[in-house]
Structures are given as C-alpha cells and as structure tokens.
C-alpha cells in the first residue's frame, strides 16, 4: 500500500468547494473520479482543509492510499489527463505511511486579493473582490499587526462546525499593493470557519476609515461575532500554501 501526496491547484469558480457533497460538483469528487478512471481503484482522498464554494487554491495538499505499482511521481500526469482544466495536479510523490494531509498539517497561508478601483476586472473577475472605496493601505498594514500572535478568535468565525477551541496562532499578516490590486497574506497554525474572510472585512473597514487600526485588538478581545462584521466574498480568497 502506497501513501501518495498530491499538490493541487484549482480554480474554485465552478465548484461547491473541496469537500464531496451530494448533487454538487466538488474538487475532491473530480480528483477521486480521475484516480478511479486511471487506476480502477476507489480511493479516499484526504484534503488538508475544506474550502468554500468559489475559493481557489494554488498549493492545496491531499493524500490517499492506493494499491498500485505506479511510481509516486507518475500520478501527476495520469491524473491530469482525466481532470477538467480548472483542476491541475502540480506534483505527486510517495509519502511516509503516516503522512496525513489534514492531521500532519502544521500551518497554512491564505491570500485574499482585493481590486481597489471603480470598476471590476474583466480578466481577473473570478479571482479578485472589487472594493470601490479608496483603501488606505498603510492603515491596513498597521491593523494587520494586531492579528499576530495567539488569540481567541471567537469573534472571527461563522458558527456551524464544532471546534475544540477557538484559540489560533497567527504567524504573519502582510499586505502588498500591486497596481490596483491589494493582496493580504495570512499565515497561521489553523483557521476557524470563514476566519480569513472575516479578518479581511475588518481590514477593509480600517482601510476605508470606518475603524481605527487598534480596533482590531478590541474586536478580538470582545469575542463578539457581531463586532467583526461581514464575511467577505469567496472569489478573492486563495489557499496559497500548506505547511507540514
């Protein structure tokens, strides 16, 4: 029995997220189907994380066990041959038998892309979120610092999935301006449901002058979901990297 680790890029626009669901196109289902087509085996593909409908990934990690003589690095090509163009296996390799894409994961980096101008992008419309009001990136960068460290992020999650603790450690939050695009990179040991998209909403309000940078600390301390405001739309979000 081999344990195969895949690194995957996907455009989430046309999928109801990673996780298999009845009557919905999902990334997990597409890849399991492709593996079945090429190897004849039904595998249970373990993803590093759920991602929501419309969310993208550039280096998503998944793993699966398989009885097969195919060398680990060959899976890239044989699976890609059976996948739609919006899902691509970047690499495949045989991993240690105890490697588990979800439980072995020690951290992740997400990137949220904002387009800050008056009109949406024609070319990047599915991988950026339009904010028409002028954003002050320096203020946002200052606000980013308040997220760093270990905090109870109760205010920054959508209820629904049960978690043992709402304490998470954020390693880094950095912001980059590239022409009219603003990219927010968030790295941490783990994330609550919708956490990044709620954090981005707070940063946007700081950028618009509706909140002060130090209000981030107050919102975290309040543990009050209502204070953190809306969940920003999925198309701006991309799972960028996963650490083991």
Positions at the binding site for substrate: 110
Structure tokens at 48: 């590093």
CB 51 within 8 A of CB 12: yes
Among 28, 30, 38, 56, binds a second copy (CB under 8 A): 56
Q: Write down the residue that tokens 């028409």 correspond to.
A: 132
Among 33, 50, 86, 167, binds a second copy (CB under 8 A): 86
- Cβ proximity to a second copy, 168 vs 238, nearer residue: 238
DSSP classification of residue 23: T
Q: Which of 17, 130, 9 is nearest to 79 (CA)?
A: 9
- Please list, in sequence order, all residues whose beta carbon lies within 8 angstroms of the beta carbon of residue 9, skipping any fewer than 6 positions away: 57, 58, 59, 60, 87, 88, 90
Q: Does 121 bind a second copy (CB under 8 A)?
A: yes
d(CA 229, CA 244): 32
Among 238, 239, 240, 242, binds a second copy (CB under 8 A): 238
Q: CA geometry: angle at 50 spanning 146 and 92, to 5°?
A: 110
What's the sign of the alpha-carbon dihedral 124, 130, 136, 142?
negative
- Minimum CB distance to a second copy, residue 90 (Å): 6
Among 16, 39, 65, 80, binds a second copy (CB under 8 A): 80
Cα 90 vs. chain centroid, distance in angstroms? 17
d(CA 22, CA 165): 29
- Minimum CB distance to a second copy, residue 127 (Å): 6
152 catalytic? Reply is: no
Stretch that binds a second copy, among 38-46, 122-130, 181-189, 219-227 (CB under 8 A): 122-130
Q: Does 154 bind a second copy (CB under 8 A)?
A: no
Of 44, 52, 189, 215, which one is the catalytic site residue? 52
- Minimum CB distance to a second copy, residue 236 (Å): 13
Q: Does 133 bind a second copy (CB under 8 A)?
A: no
Q: Which of 184, 157, 151, 183 is nearest to 170 (CA)?
A: 151
- Minimum CB distance to a second copy, residue 25 (Å): 14
**Which amino acids are annotated catalytic?**
52
Give residues in contact with a second copy (CB under 8 A): 9-11, 56, 58, 76, 80, 85-91, 117-123, 125, 127, 238
């Amino acid at each position: 029995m081999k344990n195969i680790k895949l690194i995957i890029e996907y455009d989430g626009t046309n999928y109801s997220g990673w996780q298999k669901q009845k009557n919905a196109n999902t990334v997990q289902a597409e890849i399991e189907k492709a593996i079945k087509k090429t190897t004849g085996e039904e595998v249970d593909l373990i993803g590093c994380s759920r991602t929501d409908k419309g969310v993208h990934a550039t280096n998503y990690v998944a793993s699966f066990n398989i009885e097969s003589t195919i060398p680990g690095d060959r899976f890239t090509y044989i699976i890609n041959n059976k996948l739609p163009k919006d899902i691509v296996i970047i690499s495949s390799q045989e991993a240690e038998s105890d490697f588990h894409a979800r439980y072995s994961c020690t951290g992740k980096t997400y990137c949220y892309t904002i387009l800050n101008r008056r009109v949406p992008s024609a070319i990047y419309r599915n991988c950026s979120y339009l904010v028409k009001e002028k954003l002050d990136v320096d203020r946002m960068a200052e606000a980013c610092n308040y997220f760093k460290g270990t905090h109870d992020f109760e205010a920054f999650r959508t209820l629904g999935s049960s978690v043992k603790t709402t304490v998470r450690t954020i390693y880094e939050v950095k912001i980059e301006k590239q022409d009219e695009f603003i990219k927010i990179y968030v790295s941490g040991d783990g994330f609550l449901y919708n956490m990044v998209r709620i954090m981005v909403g707070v940063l946007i309000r700081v950028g618009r002058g509706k909140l002060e940078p130090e209000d981030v600390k107050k919102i975290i301390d309040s543990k009050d979901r209502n204070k953190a405001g809306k969940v920003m739309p999925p198309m701006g979000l991309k799972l960028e990297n996963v650490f083991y």
